[in-house]
Amino acid sequence: MWVPILHKAVKDTVDRLKALNEKGLGFEPEPKRYYPEASMAAHFLGFVGLDQNGMDRGYFGLEGFYDRELKGKEGSLQIEKDVQGNPILIGQTYRVDPQDGRNLIVWVDRSVQAIVEKRLKDGMEKYGAKEGSVVVMDPKTGGIVAMASLPSYDPRTYFTSEKGQYINPVVGSTYEPGSTFKVLIMAAGINEKVITPTTTMEETGPVEVSGYTIRTWNNKYNGTVAMTDVLVHSSNVGMVYVSQKLGKEKLLSSLKNFGLGKPTNVDLEDESAPQLREDKEWRDIDVATASFGQGIAVTPLQMIRAVSAIANGGSLMEPHVVKAMVDTNGKTTQVPPKKIRQVITRKTAEEVTEMMVASVEQGEAKFAKPAGYRIAGKTGTAQIPVEGHYDETKTIASFVGFAPADNPKFVMLVTLREPSSSQWGSETAAPLFFNIAKDLFLYYGIAPK
C-alpha cells in the first residue's frame, strides 16, 4: 500500500529523488496546468486550484465553466484484499488509466488579445484610470475575439492576488452605461415608428420631469435638431423627447428585447446579470434618465451584445468563447453560433448605423478617428453613484462601436473607470478605442477608402 507524500513535483525534484534509489519510493505522473502566456487573458481563462479534497478544480472563466470537460476522468488502482481489508500481496491488481479531458478551440484570437491588453495598459496609464476593460466581438457569430480587464492577475500564482481580482469585470461587474445607451433607445424609437432619423424637436433649454431638471452635458442648446443631431451632440434633453415618444411600456419592452435584465448565457463561470426593476416601479423620471443611460445598470457584455445586434442587421446573438471541443479520439464537436431573436428590423439597424457614423464623424471625438474608415460608434460618460447620489468628479468613460460600418468585422466596447486626465469619454475611452481599431484594421488587412 502506498501513500502520496508530494503532489506535482517539478522535474528537477523528481530527478534528485530518483537518484537516491530509495526502496519503496515510487512516482506517478500527474497533470499540471501550464500558462505559456503568463497573465494574458487571465480573466476569461480562470485558473486551476484545489477543491476541498485537495483535487484539481477549475475556477472562474473557462476553467470554471468547462471544468468537467477539461479535467477528464481520474484513474484508479484496485488491489485484492483479505476479509480484514488488508491488501493481498500476491493478489490481483487492476489499474484503470486516467482519461484526458477535452481540448477547447476558442474564438479568442491571440494576436487581437495581445493588441487589446497592450493598448489597454498604455491607455490606463495615459489617462490615469483606476480600472479598465476592452471586449471585442464578432457581431455575426457572437464569438468573443478578445477580452481584457485591468487590474488583472497571473493564473500561475493566483493565490498571491486578492480574490476580488478573480472575477471578470466584463461579465461579472455592473456599471451605468451613460450616453452609449442612447443608441439602443434611439433604435427602439425608430423600430417602434415613433421617430425617424430626421424627426425634429426643439432643444431650447432644460426640461422638467417630475420636478427634476435635465440639462445637456455642456449646457448648450441647439434649437431645432433632428434625431441624428441628438446623437451627434449627445443631447440628454433630446433623449428625454425620444423616451416620451416611446412611453414606458414600449421602452421597457425594447430593453428586455435587447437582452437587458437577463444573463447572456456566455460560457464563462462568473457571469452576473443586474435585473431591471419591476415595471410598476418605473416612474416618469426613471424612464427619462434611462434614455441617456443613467439609473440603469448593465454588464459590459450585455452592452456590447445589444449594440452587436445593430451591427448584425438587428439579430441578437448569444456570446460565446468556445467554438468547438475536441475529445481524446480526435472527434470535434462544434458549438454553432446561436441567434436569440430579431430585436429590430434590418432597416432600423441600417438607419441607426448611419446615425452612429455621423456621431463619430461630427461628434466630440472626431479628432481621434482614423482617416478613411467608416466607423459607427458612440461615446459615454456616466457619473458614478456614491452613497445615494452621483459624484460629479468620478465617471466611467466608455466608447462602443463597430467597423467597418457597412460590413462590420468587429464590435468593441472600451470602458475606463475614474480617468483622471479627463472625465469625458470623448477624450479618453474614444481615443483608446480608435487606437485599438487602427491596429485591428492593420491586422485584418482592412484598407482605408
Give a yes or no: residue 1 inside a domain. no
Q: In sequence order, what are the residues at sequence separation of 6 or more whose Cβ sits closer than 8 angstroms to the Cβ of residue 55?
A: none
Residue at grid coordinates 468537467? 68
Q: Which residue has the higher pLDDT, 33 or 267?
A: 267
Least Cα distance to 87 among 75, 97, 77 occurs for 77
> pLDDT tens, 427-436?
999 999 999 9
Helix, strand, coil % (nearest 5) of the chain? 35, 25, 40
Residue at grid coordinates 426593476? 277
pTM for this model (two decimals)? 0.88
> pLDDT tens, 169-201?
999 999 999 999 999 999 999 999 999 999 999
Q: Which amino acid is at 400?
A: V
**Residue that is last in its domain, among 104, 121, 146:** 104
Shared domain check, 379 and 417: yes
Give a yes or no: residue 196 inside a domain. yes
Q: In sequence order, what are the residues at sequence separation of 6 or more whose Cβ sits closer than 8 angstroms to the Cβ of residue 225?
A: 200, 201, 203, 233, 235, 238
Q: What angle do CA 393, 395, 396 make, to 5 degrees?
A: 170
pLDDT at 37: 67
> pLDDT tens, 363-390?
999 999 999 999 999 999 988 877 666 7
Catalytic residue among 133, 149, 152, 179: 179
Shared domain check, 83 and 131: no
Shared domain check, 185 and 262: yes
Give a yes or no: residue 3 inside a domain. no
Whether residue 20 is predicted with pLDDT greater than 90 in this model: the reply is no
Cβ–Cβ < 8 Å for 371, 280: no
Give a yes or no: residue 5 inside a domain. no
Shared domain check, 348 and 296: yes
Q: What angle do CA 178, 182, 183 make, to 5 degrees?
A: 130
Cβ–Cβ < 8 Å for 207, 214: yes
Shared domain check, 440 and 416: yes
How many CA atoms within 13 Å lie on the side-chain side of 35? 18
> pLDDT tens, 262-298?
999 999 998 999 999 999 999 999 999 999 999 999 9
Shared domain check, 69 and 129: no
Mean residue pLDDT of the chain comes to 90
Verify whether residue 179 is a known catalytic residue.
Answer: yes
Least Cα distance to 307 among 206, 224, 185 occurs for 185
Quickly state the pLDDT bin for 91 (edges 50, 70, 90). low
Cβ–Cβ < 8 Å for 62, 268: yes
Shared domain check, 98 and 124: no
Give a yes or no: residue 41 inside a domain. yes
Could you write out the three-class secondary structure of 10-26?
Answer: CHHHHHHHHHCCCCCCC
Shared domain check, 291 and 191: yes
Whether residue 362 is predicted with pLDDT greater than 90 in this model: the reply is yes
Whether residue 38 is predicted with pLDDT greater than 70 in this model: the reply is no
pLDDT at 72: 66
Shared domain check, 283 and 198: yes
Read off the C-alpha cell for 170.
Answer: 466584463
Q: Which CATH number belongs to the domain containing residue 369 in this structure?
A: 3.40.710.10
Task: Sort 262 into a burial class: Cβ within 10 Å, 0-12 / 13-18 / 19+.
Answer: middle
pLDDT at 73: 66
Q: In sequence order, what are the residues at sequence separation of 6 or more whose Cβ sits closer than 8 angstroms to the Cβ of residue 223?
A: 202, 203, 204
Cβ–Cβ < 8 Å for 124, 86: no
**Residue that is last in its domain, among 48, 77, 104:** 104
Q: How many angstroms separate the CA atoms of 203 and 206, rounded?
A: 8
In which domain, by residue range, is 75 found?
A: 11-104
Shared domain check, 161 and 297: yes
**DSSP assignments along 225-282, one per residue:** EEHHHHHHTT-HHHHHHHHHHHHHHHHHHHHHHTTTTS----S-TT---PPPPPGGG-
Q: Which helix (H) or strand (E) holds 349?
A: helix 346-362
pLDDT at 49: 79
Give a yes or no: residue 63 inside a domain. yes
> pLDDT tens, 123-135?
999 999 999 999 9
**Residue that is last in its domain, among 54, 79, 104:** 104
Percent of the chain with pLDDT over 70: 90
Whether residue 6 is predicted with pLDDT greater than 80 in this model: the reply is no
Whether residue 53 is predicted with pLDDT greater than 80 in this model: the reply is no
Q: Which amino acid is at 382?
A: A
Cβ–Cβ < 8 Å for 251, 287: yes
Shared domain check, 384 and 365: yes
Quickly state the pLDDT bin for 337 (edges 50, 70, 90). very high
Task: Sort 201 into a burial class: Cβ within 10 Å, 0-12 / 13-18 / 19+.
Answer: buried
pLDDT at 387: 65
Whether residue 328 is predicted with pLDDT greater than 90 in this model: the reply is no
Q: How many angstroms separate the CA atoms of 75 and 68, rounded?
A: 15
Q: How many angstroms separate the CA atoms of 121 and 129, rounded?
A: 10
Shared domain check, 243 and 189: yes
Q: How many angstroms separate the CA atoms of 181 and 246, rounded?
A: 15
pLDDT at 68: 86
Mean pLDDT, residues 146-162: 88
Give a yes or no: residue 276 inside a domain. yes
- The total of structural domains in the chain comes to 2
Cβ–Cβ < 8 Å for 122, 132: no
